[in-house]
Amino acid sequence: MSRSFRVGPGGRLSGRLRVPGDKSISHRAVMLGAIAEGTTRISGFLSGADAISTMNVFRALGVRLEGPVDDGVTVHGVGLHGLRAASVVLDCGNAGTAMRLLMGLLAGQRFASTLVGDESLTKRPMRRVAEPLQRMGARIETNAGCPPVRVLPSDGLHAIRYELPMASAQLKSALLLAGLYADGETVVVEPAPTRDHTERMLRAFGVDVRSDGPVVSLRGGQALRATTVDVPADLSSAAFFLVGASIAPGSDLLLEHVGINPTRIGCLEILRRMGADIEVVAQRQAGGEPVADLRVRSAPLHGIEIPHELVPLAIDEFPALFVAACCAEGRTVVRGAEELRVKESDRIAAMAEGLAALGFVTRPTADGIVIDGRGGDDAVFRAGRGAAHHDHRIAMSLAIAALRSSGVVEVDDTTNVATSFPGFVASARGAGLDIDEIGA
């Protein structure tokens, strides 16, 4: 059943809130736990559709998993070479991260696998992952560069040194996972820093991963040892509330146990440069990842030109940041964000269309957007109905925009919000957003 949001105008955000666990870390915890020796226990797991798809894939590959129960998952690892051929296609649902990382993990197996996904995932590019894996000796077939992806039995992979043509944590991670099965040392060179969850988690599982500036490397054949993983709250999910509390007058909200990995905090830095009042408190470590509580209070924002080096560190948060830019005084310019064009939707086009439906005209470019914000405390948006294009981040961003709207905001195509933020409506309502879900 198709779902939609109906969000009343205005209001403020306050209180305390813990958003669901980090999706990127949840995916990786299941994957590495599956090929580790022993039993891995995961707490704070994101029980959303994407992460559940990853669990189901590994069940099909012969791994026993228990949960999720109270956001806990137990993975009974089968070791580096213990995966078995699945009797069915491996359905990744809407999870592009899962499919790309699985391409690397399955490239070194001695059996064939077919990776499929939903309609949205079927349109997303996979050639940029397939080509370097093929250079390592993998046998991979795609449908004109898109899913379904067929990974054929490998006779053995060999290590390569690969310079990423664009900053991509998913491509880097796929090559490192393939490197576990390759002869020699796999070396990946990044043009700009990207999230390093894979490197951190591989180390937590006992793998010697070396990082030297933009160069990451590991030797093949290393065994993984089971461990305990505490998944922090997802900064990408927290971003909607960081923006919402920043733009809604009178807001004062505490977001608890949020992951603040240095390769993920681009949105924090961007919001602060725009004038946001965000305080990082109670910093600590959880499962090898830095976490903290984030207190955000409303503040006047101003437009900025987003520094190029921060773009890959905030790539998933830009839909929400576009809303912040609309509410800021002056011009905000985003360049070098062409990757937004090939997410669950074309997020530049989808947000420009959604904001236009709410009466705010932006100027999309090939690799970004120009937004002339309206500033002040008055309504920035008008009543309207926007489409999320089956993209969870577009849906939640347009919902948050209602905090500065003069009328009701309706958002269609919101079913996929459950992929990253199950319980979003209840959490947002608890924080003060006047939101209802229709068609649930």
Model confidence over 71-96: pLDDT tens digits? 999 999 999 999 999 999 999 998 99
Instruction: Name the DSSP class of 202.
Output: H
Give the per-residue pLDDT at 286. 80
Strand order in the sheet with 368-374: 329-334, 368-374, 363-365
Q: Assess contact for 204 and 40: CB atoms under 8 A.
A: no
Mean pLDDT confidence for 407-411: 97
All domains of the chain in start order, with CATH: 4-21+232-438 (3.65.10.10), 23-230 (3.65.10.10)
pLDDT at site 162: 98
164-168 average pLDDT score? 91
Residue 343: the pLDDT is 84
Burial class (CB in 10 A: 0-12, 13-18, 19+), 50: buried
Q: Is residue 361 predicted with pLDDT exceeding 90?
A: yes
Contact 13, 253 (CB under 8 A): yes
The yes-or-no answer on residue 412 being catalytic is no
Burial class (CB in 10 A: 0-12, 13-18, 19+), 439: exposed
Q: For residue 383, is pLDDT > 80?
A: yes
The predicted pLDDT at position 167 comes to 86
Q: Please give the pLDDT value at position 1.
A: 59
pLDDT of residue 288: 77
Residue 345 reports pLDDT greater than 90: no
Annotated catalytic residue: which of 118, 293, 316, 412? 316
Question: Over the chain, what is the mean pLDDT?
Answer: 95
Per-residue model confidence (pLDDT) at position 335: 96
Rounded to whole angstroms, how far apart are CA atoms 116 and 106?
A: 14
Span 278-298, pLDDT tens digits: 999 999 988 778 999 999 999
Comparing 383 with 440, the larger pLDDT belongs to 383
pLDDT in tens, 217-247: 999 999 999 999 999 999 999 999 999 999 9
Mean pLDDT, range 54-78, rounded to an integer: 97
Tell me the CA end-to-end span of the chain in Å, nearest whole number: 7
Q: For position 420, what pLDDT does the model report?
A: 85
pLDDT at 64: 98
Confidence of residue 155 (pLDDT cuts 50, 70, 90): confident
Distance, CA of 435 to CA of 144 (rounded, Å): 41
Specify the pTM. Answer: 0.85
